[in-house]
């Protein structure tokens, strides 16, 4: 039986079989959109396999967090969307008999960056695309790895269990589960939609779409009836934003007289032959007919062309949209990009429980709470981006950096840095390094690059890991986006080391 990503099938099967031997599983995951969707996929799959489990979330899987996990009674721990970067520490606890780790992750393993510790750091049940020649920053996310595991769990638990007794149908029922498209629950293919939300949340789409193993998961989701894909405008907010706001806030490609221009966006729409309001409410992109969408998109492109926006930029206005077809039109949940932002708005504010509940189908209380958190998250992102753009960055030879102190929350400073890249005075030709206070003793670092820089040799995971360890901290992540924790006061020495290392990589 092959899974969605054939290279990973054998390892996924081994991991699944090990989980099925457990009496209970502690599921530990990361606090962002990818971590939440990873946890939701794993939770559903464990539940369907009849395995009791408990879920915990960690901001950072540091030594203390791993020690706390080891101190629980669980003999089997499933790590999703982290674990690989901490294999050495996890391995010590495993060797001491604390627990058996099963890991579904896509971050650079401690062994690959080579700096963190010596030989022998791997573990038997380690599912990571990077071990099988698949790119963990662009081809498979933590949620994707969890999905591959979930598919293997369905197959393995099927083979494991007695044939169902025909009289009662043999199938489990679960209220929250009941609206999943029929026939896809047994093999977990309905979970592909969450895997796509995780990949989009980790910004794995490039050139407007998902690639590689991610694309295979998309195909399974389409097959299973939980996803629809199509070429569409690539603006953020197609489901929920009123049309004028959709255009005004569209800034990835700057359209003169529309982007960042409230009056301009309104005048642009007024100039089109289009019904703009219904029942006194602004219409949204998701409610337009195909013809109406065409009208707006063509006019936008014409405007961009007439204002001299380069063709390569104009192309970026269009991309593949990933639509969760089981979710209601006009909600954040229907668009993979909006869904992932909604999740970040919960987990990055210590409310992972809310995001997880939304992923698991709670459409009432949890969704309303998530929406409230989303309003704050948006405000924080926008004021963070304003702050960085207004105050500017310090430009070194090979990198640029800023220190937000306590003015940007450490859990979102990386998102802010990534979104600020390309704004006035913040060039996309150098990676950006951002600092924010964690507590009195420690500073959080986030770094973001571009795919163009990665093609020239940039690997921020290796850079942040090595530079952080040089000043008594630790870090890791992906080539294009990485993070670290360093002691307060070590920032200058850290930046200097980062600058040197990036210089070596890009030379």
Distance of CA 156 to CAs 14, 51, 170, 193, Å?
9, 13, 17, 22
Quote the CA–CA distance of 288 and 278 in Å, as a whole number: 11
Quote the CA–CA distance of 68 and 73 in Å, as a whole number: 11
Q: What residues contact 344, with CB distance under 8 A and at least 6 apart?
A: 32, 33, 201, 377, 412, 415
With binding defined as CB under 6 A, does residue 414 bind ligand C5P? Answer: yes
Q: Which two tokens stand for residue 505?
A: 């990589």
With binding defined as CB under 5 A, does residue 190 bind Zn ion? Answer: no
483 binding partner (options Zn ion, ligand C5P, none; Cβ < 5 to 8 Å by kind):
ligand C5P
Crossing angle for the helix pair 33-48 and 192-201, nearest 10 degrees? 160
203 binding partner (options ligand C5P, Zn ion, none; Cβ < 5 to 8 Å by kind):
ligand C5P
Pick the binder of ligand C5P from 49, 354, 458, 484 (CB under 6 A).
484
The footprint of ligand C5P on residues 420-439 (CB under 6 A) is none
Q: Which stretch binds Zn ion (CB under 5 A): 26-34, 128-136, 245-253, 461-469?
A: 26-34
- Residues 469/472/475/479 CA torsion (nearest 10 deg): -40
* Nearer of residues 95 and 376 to ligand C5P, judged by Cβ: 376
With binding defined as CB under 6 A, does residue 459 bind ligand C5P? Answer: no
CB 448 within 8 A of CB 415: no
Residue linked to tokens 């464990």: 46
CB 338 within 8 A of CB 332: yes
With binding defined as CB under 6 A, does residue 38 bind ligand C5P? Answer: no
Pick the binder of Zn ion from 31, 46, 81, 156 (CB under 5 A).
81
* Nearer of residues 18 and 91 to ligand C5P, judged by Cβ: 91
CB 199 within 8 A of CB 34: yes
Q: Is residue 315 exposed (0-12), middle (13-18) or buried (19+ Cβ within 10 Å)?
A: middle
With binding defined as CB under 5 A, does residue 34 bind Zn ion? Answer: yes
Q: x/- site string to ligand C5P, residues 132 to 161, per CB under 6 A?
A: -----x------------------------
* Nearer of residues 137 and 286 to ligand C5P, judged by Cβ: 137
Pick the binder of Zn ion from 139, 202, 332, 410 (CB under 5 A).
202
* Nearer of residues 309 and 460 to Zn ion, judged by Cβ: 460
CB of 201 to ligand C5P, least distance (A): 7
414 binding partner (options Zn ion, ligand C5P, none; Cβ < 5 to 8 Å by kind):
ligand C5P
The footprint of ligand C5P on residues 222-241 (CB under 6 A) is 236
CB of 145 to Zn ion, least distance (A): 9
Sign of the alpha-carbon torsion through 255, 260, 264, 270: positive
Upper half-sphere CA count for residue 373 (Cβ side, 13 Å): 24
Residues that bind ligand C5P (CB under 6 A): 30, 32, 34, 60, 81, 85, 107, 137, 202-203, 236, 249, 337, 341, 344, 378, 381, 414-415, 418-419, 446, 448, 474-478, 480-485
């Amino acid at each position: 039986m092959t899974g969605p990503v054939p290279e990973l099938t054998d390892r996924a099967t081994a991991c699944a079989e090990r989980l099925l031997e457990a009496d209970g599983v502690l599921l530990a995951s990361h606090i962002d959109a990818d971590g939440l969707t990873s946890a939701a996929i794993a939770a559903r799959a464990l539940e369907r396999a009849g395995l009791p489990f408990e879920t915990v979330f960690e901001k950072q899987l540091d030594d203390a967090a791993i020690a706390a996990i080891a101190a629980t009674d669980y003999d089997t721990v499933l790590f999703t969307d982290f674990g690989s970067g901490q294999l050495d520490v996890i391995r010590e606890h495993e060797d001491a008999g604390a627990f058996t780790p099963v890991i579904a992750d896509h971050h650079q393993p401690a062994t690959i960056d080579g700096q963190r510790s010596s030989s022998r750091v791997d573990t038997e049940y380690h599912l990571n695309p990077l071990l099988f020649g698949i790119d963990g920053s662009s081809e498979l996310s933590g949620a994707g790895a969890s999905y591959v595991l979930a598919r293997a769990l369905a197959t393995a638990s099927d083979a494991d269990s007695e044939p169902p007794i025909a009289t009662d149908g043999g199938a489990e029922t679960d209220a929250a589960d009941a609206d999943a498209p029929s026939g896809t629950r047994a093999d977990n293919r309905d979970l592909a939609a969450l895997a796509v939300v995780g990949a989009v949340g980790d910004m794995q789409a490039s050139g407007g779409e998902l690639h590689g193993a991610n694309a295979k998961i998309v195909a399974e989701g389409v097959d299973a009836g939980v996803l629809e894909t199509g070429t569409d405008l690539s603006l953020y907010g197609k489901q929920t934003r009123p049309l004028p706001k959709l255009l005004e806030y569209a800034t990835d490609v700057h359209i003169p007289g529309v982007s960042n221009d409230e009056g301009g966006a309104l005048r642009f729409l007024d100039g089109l032959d289009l019904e703009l309001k219904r029942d006194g409410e602004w219409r949204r992109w998701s409610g337009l007919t195909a013809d109406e969408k065409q009208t707006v998109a063509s006019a936008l492109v014409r405007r961009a062309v007439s204002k001299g926006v380069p063709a390569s930029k104009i192309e970026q206005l269009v991309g593949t949209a990933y639509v969760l077809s089981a979710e209601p039109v006009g909600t954040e949940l229907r668009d993979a990009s909006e869904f992932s932002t909604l999740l970040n708005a919960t987990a990055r504010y210590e409310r992972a429980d809310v995001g997880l509940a939304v992923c698991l189908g709670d459409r009432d209380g949890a969704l309303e709470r998530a929406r409230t958190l989303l309003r704050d998250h948006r405000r924080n992102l926008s004021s963070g981006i304003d702050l960085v753009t207004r105050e500017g960055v310090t430009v070194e030879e090979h990198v640029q950096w800023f220190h937000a102190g306590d003015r940007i929350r450490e859990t979102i400073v990386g998102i802010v840095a990534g979104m600020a890249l390309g704004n006035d005075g913040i060039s996309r030709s150098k990676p950006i390094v951002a600092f924010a206070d964690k507590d009195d003793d420690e500073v959080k670092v986030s770094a973001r690059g571009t795919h163009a820089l990665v093609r020239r040799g940039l690997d921020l995971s290796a850079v942040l890991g090595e530079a952080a360890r040089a000043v008594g901290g630790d870090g890791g992540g992906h080539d294009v986006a990485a993070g670290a924790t360093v002691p307060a006061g070590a920032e200058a020495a850290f930046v200097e080391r980062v600058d040197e290392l990036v210089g070596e990589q890009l030379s």
